[in-house]
Amino acid sequence: MKDNIVLIGFMGCGKTTVGEKLAADLSFDFIDTDQYIEEKEAMIINDIFATKGEEYFRGLETSSLEELISCTEKTIVSSGGGLPLRKENAELLKKLGFVVYLRVQNETVLQRLKGDTTRPLLACENPAKRVEELLEFRDPIYEVGAHLVVDVDGKTVEAIAEEIVRNYEIMRQSKKEDKGIGNE
């Protein structure tokens, strides 16, 4: 595992906000996979979905992960909400770093994304039903794909970041101890 922290979770769970806070607290770089893809393709996500389709976008997520594994260190990576769903991506995420699932309730998602037009998957007649269905399907996948699960509802960004840093330090410490034992 590389020395990065990777945030996964549903749209609106706070990956970007928490990620930027973590990057500031730990003096790490910050990368958002959606932004990374938009820059590489010179196109916004909505247009990628509309002109090239979701499968094409999912392929870009996989190739971006491969690139990030080879070029990042001490970076907070905020990943697109659907990225961990491909089995190969889930494996790549765990290579990329300490994976944290920010678990959110659907009411919070709806509240936060009210009026948002940047998420093609929620541009439908009944976004509430869509969020409920997607979350129900994705929650167990996110959970299995993570080293740590943090429930975010009702918590401040500071409290969430602290919880992540505390667990990240514990993981690093236990890795050091494992290495020590092996070297004796």
Residues near ligand S3P (CB under 6 A) are 11, 15, 34, 45, 80-82, 119-121
For residue 36, the minimal CB distance to ligand S3P (Å) is: 11
CA angle 8, 11, 15 (to 5 degrees): 45
Taking the least distance from each CB to ligand S3P, the nearer of 31 and 45 is 45
Q: Which is nearer to ligand S3P, 42 or 181 (CB)?
A: 42
Residue (81 or 145) nearer to ligand S3P, CB:
81
Q: Between residues 25 and 38, which has the closer beta carbon with respect to ligand S3P? A: 38
Shortest approach of ligand S3P to residue 81 CB, angstroms? Answer: 3
For 104-150, the three-class secondary structure string (H helix, E strand, C coil) is CCHHHHHHHCCCCCCCHHHCCCCHHHHHHHHHHHHHHHHHHCCCEEE
Tell me the closest approach of the beta carbon of residue 3 to ligand S3P, in angstroms.
23
Query: How far is the C-alpha of 173 from the C-alpha of 169, rounded, in Å?
Result: 6
Question: In angstroms, what is the minimal distance from the CB of 172 to ligand S3P?
Answer: 26
Smallest separation, CB 67 to ligand S3P (Å) = 16
CB of 184 to ligand S3P, least distance (A): 44
Place of tokens 């990374």: 36
Task: Output the CA–CA distances (angstroms, integers) from residue 130 to 10, 31, 106, 136, 183, in the order listed.
Answer: 12, 27, 10, 10, 52
Q: CA of 111: how far to CAs of 13, 70, 115, 135, in Å? A: 11, 37, 9, 15
Q: Give Cβ neighbours of residue 167 (< 8 Å, ≥ 6 apart).
A: 98, 100, 148
Between CA 156 and CA 85 the distance in angstroms is: 27
Looking at the Cβ atoms of 82 and 97, the one nearer to ligand S3P is: 82
